[in-house]
Amino acid sequence: VKWQTGLNGGLVVANPIPEQFAMPEETINAAIDQAVAEAEEQGVIGKESTPFLLARVAELTGGDSLKSNIQLVFNNAILASEIAKEYQRLVG
């Protein structure tokens, strides 16, 4: 619709993780909260934050968060390709 109407600017697409790969909300939230608290306690800041948090959350969830993140990236790639194909169809 954005391209059909000629609107300028960016595009934000929200694409949730497929339900079969989602972790229980209370499990992932508890792991994130603990990892953030540990990062603050250890003084982890800046560009070191993301790798620390991802690794710690993966540890706290027994690797389940990593499996979920991989599926989320895969699902995002599928959606991105669908958007690209549709865009190409519109602009020829």
Average pLDDT score over residue span 63-89: 95
Q: Is residue 15 part of a domain?
A: no
Backbone angles phi, psi at 13, to 5 degrees: -120, 125
Task: Please check whether residue 17 lies inside any domain of the structure.
Answer: no
Confidence band for 10, pLDDT divided at 50, 70 and 90: confident
More confident residue, 53 or 6: 53
DSSP state of 9: S
Assess if residue 75 is contained within a domain. yes
Q: Which residue has the tokens 């497929």?
A: 18
pLDDT level of residue 80 (50, 70, 90 thresholds): very high
User: How far, in Å, CA of 22 to CA of 64, rounded?
Assistant: 9
Is position 4 within any domain? Answer: no
Q: Check: pTM over 0.75? Answer yes or no.
A: yes
Give the domain extent around 84: 24-91
The 3-state secondary structure of 23-37, one letter per residue: CCHHHHHHHHHHHHH
With respect to residue 8, please indicate whether it lies within any of the assigned structural domains. Answer: no
Q: What is the pLDDT of residue 18?
A: 93
In a domain, 33, yes or no: yes
Q: How many domains does the chain have?
A: 1
**Contact (CB, 8 A) for 55 and 42:** no
Label residue 1 by pLDDT band (50, 70, 90). Answer: low
